[in-house]
Each structure stands twice: as structure tokens, then as C-alpha cells.
Amino acid sequence: MGILNGFSAKICDRSGNGQHNSLRANAGVVLNEPSVLALNKYSGEVLSVGSQALKLLGREPKDTEVYRPIRRGAIDNFEISQKFLRALISRVQHNDHPRRSHLVIGVPGSSTPLERRSVKDAARDAKAGRVDLVDEGLAAGLGAGLDFENEQAHLVIDIGGGTSNVAILASGGVVSSVSVPARACDGRSD
């Protein structure tokens, strides 16, 4: 029995400080974009997402604001994150059946219950039907093809743009997981 047999996920998402990745069952990576969103300053309309929005960063017109919705591995602004997820979900959904998607989203191992609820709420508000959260360490282990059928422990280190996640995985689950912020990665010295 595989570790993901309980999931019937259509889309798996991983939003990080630097990149957002979406994978669809039987299709592989369907989206790999920078975690950046450009909005009209006055109407709140989404102008661009991902690499197109990143091109505007530092060069945006007066009526445009460019945001990074994820900072230090957590949602920085709920409304912006919701618009970001909604735009990405619409890009990866099949056009022939626009029903609500089932998302599996990777979250940092040491995220608080409030941060986890914020991620779920943002995804639901972005028109996701069902949302399941999975520890980023577990997701990294699955992506690396680790064998979870035996009791052997695995140390998984997921190095991201804003956080690094260190997890110990054994017997098909997470034994311990912690996220460490990478303060130098966002250009701030605080």
C-alpha cells in the first residue's frame, strides 16, 4: 500500500518564497513559476502572475503593485495569497471540466495551526474544492522516491528560497519536522 493511496489528488501544490510548483496526476509538473503577483493598485485586479509579474518587479507602472505572497515560508498577506492561488488554480485546471480541484499543498513542518488554517482557507477561497496539507519534508521524501514500506528512518532536508525544512521520516510518516528561516534569502538583514 503506497503512502498516498488515501489521496485522490488532482493537483499538488508547493508555494515557496521563490517558486510555486504544481503537479497533476499522470502529467507531472504543469506549472513552475516564481511566487509573484502583480495587481492593479486601484481595482485589485490581477494583472499578471509568475514570471510575467516578476518582470515588473522594480519597474512597475504607477497603477501597479507587485507582491510576493509567501514570506519566510508563511502567508504574508491573506488576500494577496488568495488571489495568487486563484490565478494559479485557473491556469492548471482542465478547461474541459472546470469543477473544483482537489489540492494537496506542502506546508513547512513547524508551521502553526493558524498558519495551516490560513493556507487551507486561502485555497478554499480560491475555489479549491478539497484541500489537504502535507508536511514539506514528507512531500520532499516522496518526490525523491524514498521507500516508505519499511521502518528504516530517513533524514530529508528540503532547501528552499526562504526556509529549509528538516524532517525525519519513518514507517510512512513524519517522526519530526522543523523549518528554519533563511533570513538572507529575501534581501533583508533583520
The residue-averaged pLDDT of 49-57 equals 87
Give, in words, the CATH class of 11-147: alpha beta
- By three-state DSSP, how is residue 45 classified? coil
**Structure confidence by residue, pLDDT tens digits, 121-180:** 877 877 777 888 988 888 888 888 888 777 889 999 888 767 788 899 988 888 999 888
Sketch the domain layout of the chain as residue ranges.
11-147
The pLDDT of residue 18 is 56
What average pLDDT does the chain have? 75
pLDDT over 60 at 105, yes or no = yes
pLDDT over 50 at 3, yes or no = no
Evaluate whether 78 touches 118 at the Cβ level (below 8 Å): yes
pLDDT over 80 at 29, yes or no = no
What residues contact residue 45 under an 8 Å CB cut-off, 6+ apart? 39
Q: How far apart are CA 174 and CA 85, in angstroms?
A: 26
pLDDT over 60 at 109, yes or no = yes
Q: How far apart are CA 16 and CA 70, in angstroms?
A: 6
The pLDDT of residue 187 is 46
112-144 residues labelled b (16+ CB within 10 A) or e (exposed): eeeeeebbbebbbebbbeebebbbbbbbbbbee
